[in-house]
Amino acid sequence: MDFVRVGIIGIGNMGRSHAKSIKEGKVPGAQLTAVCDWDPDKIPWIKENLGSDVLVFSSAEEMFEANVIDAVFIATPHYDHPTLAIQAFEKNLHVLIEKPAGVYTKQVREMNEVAARTNTVFGIMYNQRTNPLYQKLKDLIDSGELGELRRVNWIITTWYRSQSYYDSGGWRATWAGEGGGVLLNQCPHQLDLIQWLCGMPTRVRAFMSFGKMHNIEVEDDVTAYLEYENGATGVFITSTSDTPGTNRLEITGDRGKVVVEDDKLEFWRLRTPERQFNEEYTGGFGQPECWKCEIPVEGKYTQHVGILNDWIQSILKGTPLLAPGEEGIRGLIISNAMHLSTWTDDWVTLPIDEDLFLEHLEEKIKTSRFEKTVKTVTLDTSGTH
């Protein structure tokens, strides 16, 4: 294969951006041959910006049956990601999905199982993994430079959204339309990164407010406490009403702490590991000698185009993916655990009770003001598709 024929499902903001990247030659080896959208009002934009050589379909089924693509990028509303991916896998198509992987883990788990039965390349648009800051931080952790992890704190409140943003689409910030609020829409990248860097927690206790500062159904303010197998703890705070917001990630280990903020990576490195110092020091008050270092970070932050290129090269050359689609379930598990903890007002141990989560979600959907056909949400609850 010299090039990959790519189709895109969903020509909204992200779908348009990815389509233009491919058409402008920013993704070598990719050829945009088809797009799909249910809204006929999108056709003028498609013709004007993508050209007459790109085929236009009004349904995914038509696109899949036309045999004009080798791979598909899915940029639709959240609930449809697993459903469409499964259909594509059954046609032996390579798949890249937008974040999040889905709304509930039971559906995403089925998607992963179908993907595993195929010989296809499955990726997810976790473009934050292309950020050299987080790649360097992962290297510091994985190499043991930080020592055993003790604590992680992430305040990510730079997601300010006005009421007019939520009012711009009836599906926005509804249980039936999006399946969640700030955790499902804005924070999937941070939830992915926190597990990518620190691993999965063992249990979660979350406190969230629904429509606290906006006229919406879903969460717009979250504070969650995480516990890890080795005794490490974490706090995750996010909101869409704080302005100015904060984006500060602090990770503490046995050998110091690292802070990522304002596009900088700073390392407070202990000359003697804390446990060793604690055992050996006899002077009463005192602490290990500490050096503050600004860690040099090299490399280009390639964002969405980086993930697109990574996916295409994996299809063409078999190279490992930076963001395998199967890993999308991990951040979603944390998100689902936070919701379930709030709904039940209790701790949630991982792995979560997927059936219990789905019961609560379906109750929310029944009272949702967005009159989306609930069939799309409930078809997959039996484990079939």
Q: Which helix H or strand E contains 112, and what residues bound it?
A: helix 105-116
Per-residue pLDDT of 15-24, as tens digits, reads: 999 999 999 9
Query: Which pLDDT score is estimated for 380?
Result: 36
216 and 205, same structural domain? Answer: yes
Q: Is residue 257 part of a domain?
A: yes
- The tokens for 283 are 């002077």
pLDDT digits (tens, 9 = 90+) for 341-355: 999 999 999 999 999
**116 shares its domain with 189:** no
Pairing relation of β-strands 290-294 and 122-124? unpaired
Residue 381: what pLDDT?
Answer: 33
Clarify whether residues 18 and 109 are in a common domain.
yes
The whole model's pTM is what? Answer: 0.94
Per-residue b/e over 63-100, b at no fewer than 16 CB within 10 Å?
Answer: bbeeeebbbbbbbbbbbbbbbbbbbbbebebbbbbbbb
Count of domains observed in the chain: 2
Q: Residue 373 has what pLDDT?
A: 40
Residue 122 lies inside a defined structural domain of this protein: yes
Do residues 120 and 229 both lie within one domain? no
User: Beta partners for 44?
Assistant: none
pLDDT at 219: 98
Longest dimension (CA), the chain: 78
Q: Do residue 115 and residue 179 come from a single domain?
A: no
> pLDDT tier at 96 (50, 70, 90 boundaries)?
very high
Angle between helices 328-344 and 105-116 (to 10 degrees): 160
CB-based contacts of 220, cutoff 8 Å, min separation 6: 161, 173, 181, 182, 209, 210, 211, 212, 213, 214, 239, 240, 241
In tens, the pLDDT along 352-381 reads 999 999 999 999 999 999 965 433 343 333
| Whole-angstrom distance, CA of residue 118 vs CA of residue 264 | 41
CATH number of the domain that residue 104 is part of: 3.40.50.720
Over residues 114-128, the mean pLDDT reads: 98
183-199 residue pLDDT tens = 999 999 999 999 999 99
CATH number, position 173: 3.30.360.10
Does 146 share its domain with 289?
yes
Does one domain contain both 123 and 135?
no
Q: In the prediction, which pLDDT does 169 show?
A: 84
Each residue of 239-298: pLDDT tens digit? 999 999 999 999 999 999 999 999 999 999 999 999 999 999 999 999 999 999 999 999
Q: Which residues make beta-bridge pairs with 34?
A: 7, 55
> Residue 378: inside a domain, yes or no?
no
Domain that holds residue 51: 4-128+303-325
Structure letter (DSSP) for residue 321: P
First to last CA, the chain: 31
- Do 134 and 276 fall into the same domain? yes
For all residues of the chain together, what is the average pLDDT? 95
Over range 49-55, report the average pLDDT.
96
Same domain, 73 and 164: no
| pLDDT at residue 125 is higher than 90 | yes
Looking at the fold, whether 312 and 280 belong to one and the same domain comes out as no
Q: Give yes or no: residues 252 and 147 share one domain.
A: yes
Q: Has residue 289 been placed in a domain?
A: yes
What letter represents residue 164's amino acid? S
Q: Specify the pLDDT at position 170.
A: 87
Stretch 95-103: mean pLDDT: 98
Q: Answer yes or no: do 153 and 250 share one domain.
A: yes
